[in-house]
Amino acid sequence: MRILFLGDILGRSGRDALTTHLPDIRARLRAELVVVNGENASHGFGLAPEMARAFFTAGTDVITLGNHAWDRKEIIPYLAEEPRIIRPANFPPGTPGAGHFIAVLADGRKALVINAMGRLFMELLDDPFRAVQALVQAHPLGRAVQASIIDIHAEASSEKAAMATSFDGLASLVIGTHTHIPTADHRIMPGGTAFMTDAGMCGDYDSVIGMQKAPASMRFWRRVPTEKLAPAEGEATLCGLLVVTDDATGLATACAPLRQGGCLAPVWPEV
């Protein structure tokens, strides 16, 4: 299976880049499953239903969320009718929505997509490792599903690496989101799981992690959050990872990063 994962879509520039370029990127990469993190799509904070619909129309199959899941309140009732949008699985019981989705390809192959949120330097949620373990055990790779993707939305690189190490050989891909910076450590781990500490964001990198530079910078100078944060509006760089898996085992056989547009050096995945 050819899986494309794109990092946090941030603001209008990220949304426009995704909806404009994803159809061509998906065709050129022959991607069979596209997963994007959409929790920063609405002005950097949350996801509105109309934005999610535009992402699906452009060729997205599954949208993951994170710590800004509820910043647009209208997404809460929308989750009940749109199971392709998932929030972290380790949110407390009774939280709206679900923490996983099983995508079914046209030929019948299945892919499990899990969203989890880290706890180090973030909210104290339920244990993400045990939440992921329960879902992985319920949908074993290579038997119940032909691929599985874990989006670990976390601040600490150590927590993301621990997630990858814990589920090496049990998932096709463990990929980090949230920090908005694409890391250079993409690889296939000893057990056959592809891993990248952070996919990066799909947004304007002439910014402070996607936000306009002056007000975001002044928060560090003054330590008084009086400046209103707003997304940078220049050309976005689309950042993510392409993973190729073996349908029999579900494990990764190749992975390569994608960076297109904007001010970052372009990288096209040749796999």
Quick one: pLDDT at residue 225? 67
* Residue 265 located in a structural domain: no
Active site residues per annotation? 68
Q: Dihedral of CA 70/83/8/142: which sign?
A: positive
* Residue 150 located in a structural domain: yes
pLDDT band for position 228 (cuts 50, 70, 90): confident
pTM for this prediction: 0.96
* Residue 271 located in a structural domain: no
Q: Residue 21 belongs to what domain range?
A: 2-260
What domain count does the chain have?
A: 1
Give the model confidence (pLDDT) of 153-204 as tens digits: 999 999 999 999 999 999 999 999 999 999 999 999 999 999 999 999 999 9
* β-strand pairing of 110-117 with 147-153: parallel
- Residue 21 contacts residue 256 (beta carbons within 8 Å): no
Quick one: pLDDT at residue 222? 83
Strand order in the sheet with 100-104: 100-104, 110-117, 147-153, 173-177, 194-196, 187-188
* Residue 267 located in a structural domain: no
* Residue 268 located in a structural domain: no
| H-only helix segments in the chain | 11-29, 49-58, 75-81, 128-138, 157-166, 213-222
- The CATH number of whichever domain residue 24 belongs to comes to 3.60.21.10
* Residue 266 located in a structural domain: no
Q: Is 74 helix (H, G, I), strand (E, B) or coil?
A: coil
Give the model confidence (pLDDT) of 75-88 as tens digits: 999 999 999 999 99
* Residue 269 located in a structural domain: no
Per-residue pLDDT at 246 exceeds 80: yes
Q: Which residues contact 97 (CB under 8 A, 6 or more apart)?
A: 69, 76, 79, 80, 85, 86, 87
* Residue 47 located in a structural domain: yes
